[in-house]
Structure 1
């Protein structure tokens, strides 16, 4: 649980008696009158919440606040202002996008303290998630997401990676099949060898034989030198055949021979060459159905279908959407020399949670990339993502997002504390009985 450190930004006069109420609730207070000092103090002192106290609001104050309020840096922002301030559209929009909550005068100490307590718990929850989330390295296999579906996929990948048998990866277009193939390669004994990816649907039919198997010099017009071929290029490593269902039938015959005999014959060549390659194939179509329709060789299908895994579509792991969106936002921001974009508005998160993602992870990346480049705002909005978000859906989606964040925070904290409920409850700032109730709510098994 973060320390109760509150940065109070008061451009004018401090409200009488407020400091006494805050200190009575255990807040450690830091007062500033100049907005330019906010960022320096916030980073140095480990501030969990920032309270801005205003006795008047105009466009100049709104612009000054817009330059410093950053809800994505770990601190939650709350504003205390006159009631009429919310009549200013620019200020109202800033509060909706960047502040955790607001309180209007006259000051009700109990109400304001409750808002600050909620903001502090929210900041602590986010900090726990950031600390507990594993790096996108060996543990995550390079794949972003903490959903149950992704946990199952990682388990399957670890199991098939240690074998030498062919693997067939299923999944919709854009779901991340090549990423799963790379994870299999990096988890195998062939990790030091090459990973060669071949898009079977993009190979020109007239050149497909030469592209895959290579050719001898003079075997056809334009063959001025020997060509090694993509299969031989994967020697000692992994050959990934993406969208193998698009491979022409004549090439399927040659590929079957390669899988059976572990040899290839170049175009125009008279001898067979041994090749040590592991094959991982992927297809977005049902190959069993393609076999039944006569579009895919049955014997090749059973050669490839020794081990199989399926990459889940994004709509079946929506709890991963905010984490994926943040990952893509950081990637896209790093590619730009300058950007004022600092993250996603709550409305944008709600819109992403409501969307069905027919294009899967690829669609999410494309929408985030476009939004980072094209938005004129500090926080990405639903319109920047070209997503609709009506008010009724907002409420439902935000509730779902909060529920998922709560569940993940409990899981992460339990794992980090060795499933010690007492320690986990202390870190989360709740009682043991409350934690047990939340675990039952989210169907998280109690420590045995």
Structure 2
């Protein structure tokens, strides 16, 4: 059984004793130091799996020790003990590289959570090689993406809130997942929520949950997103879309590490790490008064910028190959490859929609290409015109189009019905010979396979 060691740094004997007793009961050996000098000496002789340091010390402060550990013992997570309510100091310590913080008076359940998270991080460390550059979810070999992968690995070792900035479709959620999967919370849930997709009147219930009968329609208890993410990570995508009233409640929940379900009189503690993102200019929204400055500082302890695809065009061939392989598996077709002219066309394209747009372009081209090769012409970049037999629908359905019903209609569902009827008729006419049916419809065999899968007609 592995014995863990923790270093406790505090000039108050009573605090040192309290922390030492708590950690010893958790089966952790302890070393204690009353000042920075002693702490550095102990760190040079030992390799503790955790360091807990007070902010105010006789010969310096806790942030000085955080900086020293970052340089001389980077494998040791360090948590800072701050004065109650002093969020500025806590945020400063996180920016300096602290793993986490805990406020005085120290709440023992919160301390135990912090210690367990730090130990999980230390246990994972022997298998990690800081010189490797495993792609994980972030594919690419460009300097920009290598730097991003390195940053996510470092941020995974912290519990600091991270604000992920970047254009729409650039992969902000993938970055959040990488931070989660490489950190001590990887065994816990990863809950992603698009803040702009929740109606304002339902936000408090969605985030914090509600009690049965607390409002009309609350027919059962609901735990909400915060409690669903307990023990893991909550990713707030498009956080700039939160209304101001909800921003106040979100700030309190993050600072207090607790939520109050709608209709409840008590707060429920939650143990989560908050990551957030938006494609909007958040500092500009703060200046305009549309986003609270105090919430901005709380979620933007560390900012991580995701580069747009046009700035890493050399990654496009690798990304495209991965995407085409996934599409082929999804639609149970042979994989397609890009011709050299198609690759050059993609690398020269501006990609306003970034990786998400690349996926859409390749999925459309996959259904149109012949002989498993996607040419530059198959990409249809720079115009919205698609040839007959493209993804817009069968060219020759072989039947009269049904009349459009009067009044409001579900256009997407209406068109899907037409497409489904046309494909069924073509398959019946060719005795379910898919190759012949595709020819009758004026589309490629691959396009027919794609549509059958998409419409659930296999």
Q: Deviations over 1:353-375 (max 9, x none)?
A: 11011110000011111111222
Partner-residue secondary structure (3-state), 1:140: coil
Of 365, 379, 386, 2:373 maps to: 379
Q: Is the 8 A contact 1:167 1:281 kept in 2?
A: yes
Paired residue secondary structure (2:184): coil
1:140 aligned to which of 130, 135, 141: 135
The 5 A counterparts of 1:86-101 are: none
Aligned equivalent of 1:150? 145
1:260 aligned counterpart, secondary structure: helix
Aligned to 1:437: none
Distance 2:367 2:133 in 1: 31
What is the CA distance between 1:379 and its match in structure 2? 1.0
> 2:339 aligns to what?
345
Alpha-carbon distance between aligned partners in 2 of 1:138 and 1:151, rounded to the nearest angstrom: 7
- Tell whether 2:261 aligns with 1:282: no
Question: Given that residues 169 and 281 in structure 1 are in contact (C-alpha distance below 8 angstroms), is that contact kept between their aligned partners in structure 2?
Answer: yes
The match for 2:232 is 237
Q: CA deviation at 1:260?
A: 0.9
Alpha-carbon separation, structure 2, partners of 1:292 and 1:176: 27
Give 1:186 shift.
0.5
Counterpart in 2 of 1:319? 314
2:243 aligned with 1:248, yes or no? Answer: yes
Alpha-carbon distance, 1:257 to partner: 0.1
Distance in 2 of aligned mates of 1:311 and 1:161: 16
Q: Secondary structure at the match of 1:223?
A: coil
Does structure 2 conserve the Cα–Cα contact (< 8 Å) formed by 1:382 and 1:388?
no
User: Residue in 2 aligned with 1:67?
Assistant: none
In 1: Cα distance, 2:145 partner to 2:333 partner? 34
State the TM-score, normalized to the length of structure 1: 0.55
Decide whether aligned partners of structure 1 residues 145 and 337 sit closer, same or farther in structure 2, where only a CA change above 3 A counts: same
RMSD over equivalenced CA pairs, Å: 1.5
Indicate the residue corresponding to 2:301 in structure 1.
306
- The residue number in structure 2 matching 1:179 is 174
Aligned-pair distance for 1:336?
Answer: 1.7
Contact preservation (8 Å) 2:133, 2:149: no
Work out whether residues 234 and 275 of structure 2, in 8 Å CA contact, stay in contact via their aligned partners in 1: yes
Query: 1:388 Cα shift?
Result: 5.8
Instruction: Tell me if the contact between 1:351 and 1:388 (Cα under 8 Å) persists in the aligned partners.
Output: no
Q: Which residue of 2 aligns with 1:329?
A: 324
Residues 140-194 of structure 1: CA deviation (Å, up to 9, x unaligned): 1321100000011011111111011111000000000000000000011000000
Q: What's the CA shift string for 1:79-137, capped at 9, x where partnerless?
A: xxxxxxxxxxxxxxxxxxxxxxxxxxxxxxxxxxxxxxxxxxxxxxxxxxxxxxxxxx9
Stretches (4+) displaced over 6 A = none
In the TM superposition, residue 138 of structure 1 has moved relative to its aligned partner by: 8.0
Contact 1:160 1:184 in 2 (8 A): yes
SS in 1 for 2:378: coil
Counterpart-to-counterpart distance in 2, 1:386 and 1:327: 20
Could you list the per-position Cα deviations for residues 18-48 of structure 1 after superposition, in whole angstroms to 9, with x for gaps in the alignment?
A: xxxxxxxxxxxxxxxxxxxxxxxxxxxxxxx
Partners of 1:150 and 1:289 lie apart in 2 by: 26
Unaligned runs of 5+ in 1: 1-136, 390-448
Tell me the secondary structure at the aligned position of residue 196 of structure 1. strand
Aligned residues: 252
- Aligned with 2:234: secondary structure? strand
Residue 236 of structure 1, CA deviation = 0.2
1:361 has 2:346 as partner: no
Structure 2: stretches of 5+ with no match in the other structure? 1-131, 384-458
TM-fit CA distance, 1:198: 0.5
